[in-house]
């Protein structure tokens, strides 16, 4: 199985550059994973595919305004730092541009010195470990000086930073949004609950893997970067009861999926836990935690296309993606949605 097996044709004009004015007005392609049959809906129709007793699982991670533009204190050279992972205290793993300018001991200043970053470790692929130096509350400083770390395929400026955040975002720690959740409004979630569908939240902080393409030829040779996940006791109990009562677990996004599948790969049932996951899901994987998936349309040859292909079959996915292209669906982070039932 090669990376090329997960390639598809995508015209650049179908890459959504800005979010729609109304979150839940996006289009929804419904794919039957058993038959390959496709339906065309709008996102608010998702409620018609959810049944009383089902549990909808969302990732409540919150995106850091983690993109910082500063200058080297020694030379004034412009440096961009993207905070990826909190290592401990004020030490962070970061993606740096241009990385060659940031050596151990170098200090970068942001906002006239309100925040400083001292390099304390050099690694491959533009990764640096830095220590943040500041007075006050870090989140308040990041809200003032940082911006949302939009993916490289988005070239338009995001006017409203909250649109790269789900309406239920709570646990701060992601370098990117769990984008399948961007389609939900509070009103739609209320309607879903009123129908008797359970809503549960897990946490997975989206990290470096989001920004890294698959560079190997053979899929099996790809190594995922680790990301932090957690599940609370009451969520584990709800999911176990959902299973026992014969109802479905529906993941919102690949990050929720990876969290649920990680836990079910470690234990015989869902349980309260947290840790770091490097789970890589591709065709041949046997799902243990989810029945259905709400997701976006993903980059060609990406680990995310491989994940949805594992759930619905590669041929079904590539056919659905071709139909989406032919019908001019919007792709990627601010694009339209797919429900794999």
Query: What tens digit of pLDDT does each residue of 224-278 get?
Result: 988 999 999 999 999 999 999 999 999 999 999 999 999 999 999 999 999 999 9
Q: Which of 149, 322, 328, 307 is nearest to 219 (CA)?
A: 307
Beta-strand relationship, 55-59 and 61-63: unpaired
pLDDT, residue 225, reads 86
In the prediction, which pLDDT does 211 show? 59
- pLDDT of 208 above 80: no
Contact 29, 339 (CB under 8 A): yes
Which residue in 272, 273, 270 sits closest to 290, CA to CA? 270
How crowded is residue 162: how many other Cβ atoms within 10 Å of its Cβ?
12
Residue 193: asked if its preceding bond is cis (omega within 30°), the reply is: no
pLDDT digits (tens, 9 = 90+) for 24-61: 999 999 999 999 999 999 999 999 999 999 999 999 99
Contact between 33 and 341 under an 8 Å Cβ cutoff? The reply is yes
Alpha helices in the chain (DSSP H): 138-145, 186-194, 233-244, 254-266, 303-312, 314-326
Average pLDDT, rounded, for the chain: 95
List, for residues 7-27, the tens digit of each pLDDT value.
999 999 999 999 999 999 999
pLDDT for the residue numbered 85: 86
| pLDDT score recorded for residue 196 | 98
**CA–CA separation, 261 and 46 (whole Å):** 23
For the chain, state the CA radius of gyration: 20
Q: Which 3 state secondary structure label does DSSP give 217?
A: coil
| C-alpha span between 148 and 161 (Å, rounded) | 7
Residue 170 has a pLDDT of: 96
Q: HSE (CB half, 13 Å, CA atoms) of 259?
A: 35
Predicted confidence at residue 229, as pLDDT, reads 97
Please give the Cα distance from 236 to 229 (Å, whole number).
13
Residue 210: pLDDT band with limits 50, 70, 90: low
pLDDT of residue 149: 87
Residue 152 confidence (pLDDT)? 85
pLDDT at position 215 = 87
- pLDDT for res 98: 94
C-alpha to C-alpha distance for 183 and 189, rounded to whole angstroms: 10
Does residue 306 have a pLDDT over 70? yes
């Amino acid at each position: 199985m090669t990376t090329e097996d997960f390639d598809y044709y995508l015209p650049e004009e179908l890459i959504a550059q800005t979010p729609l004015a109304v979150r839940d007005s996006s289009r929804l392609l419904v794919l039957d994973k058993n038959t390959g049959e496709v339906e065309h809906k709008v996102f608010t129709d998702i409620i018609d595919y959810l049944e009383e007793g089902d549990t909808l699982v969302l990732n409540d991670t919150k995106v850091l305004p983690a993109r910082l533009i500063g200058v080297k204190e020694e030379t004034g050279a412009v440096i961009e730092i993207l905070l990826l992972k909190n290592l401990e205290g004020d030490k962070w793993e970061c993606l740096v541009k241009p990385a060659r300018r940031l050596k151990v001991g170098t200090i970068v200043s942001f906002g006239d010195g309100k925040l400083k970053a001292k390099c304390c470790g050099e690694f491959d692929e533009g990764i640096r470990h830095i220590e943040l130096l500041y007075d006050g509350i870090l989140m308040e400083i990041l809200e003032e000086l940082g911006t949302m770390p939009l993916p490289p395929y988005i070239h338009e400026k995001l006017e409203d930073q909250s649109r790269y955040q789900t309406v239920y975002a709570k646990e701060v720690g992601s370098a990117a949004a769990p984008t399948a959740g961007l389609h939900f409004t509070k009103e739609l979630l209320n309607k879903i609950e009123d129908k008797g569908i359970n809503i549960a939240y897990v946490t997975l902080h989206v990290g470096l893997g989001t920004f890294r393409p698959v560079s190997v030829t053979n899929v099996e040779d790809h190594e995922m970067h680790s990301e932090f996940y957690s599940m609370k006791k009451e969520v584990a109990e709800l999911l176990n009861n959902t299973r026992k009562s014969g109802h479905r677990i529906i993941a919102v996004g690949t990050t929720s999926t990876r969290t649920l599948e990680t836990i079910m790969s470690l234990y015989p049932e869902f349980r309260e836990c947290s840790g770091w996951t490097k789970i890589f899901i591709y065709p041949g994987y046997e799902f243990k935690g989810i029945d259905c998936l709400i997701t976006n349309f993903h980059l060609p040859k990406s680990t995310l296309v491989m994940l949805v292909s594992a759930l619905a079959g590669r041929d079904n996915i590539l056919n659905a993606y071709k139909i989406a292209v032919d019908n001019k669906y919007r792709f990627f982070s601010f694009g339209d949605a797919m429900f794999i039932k």
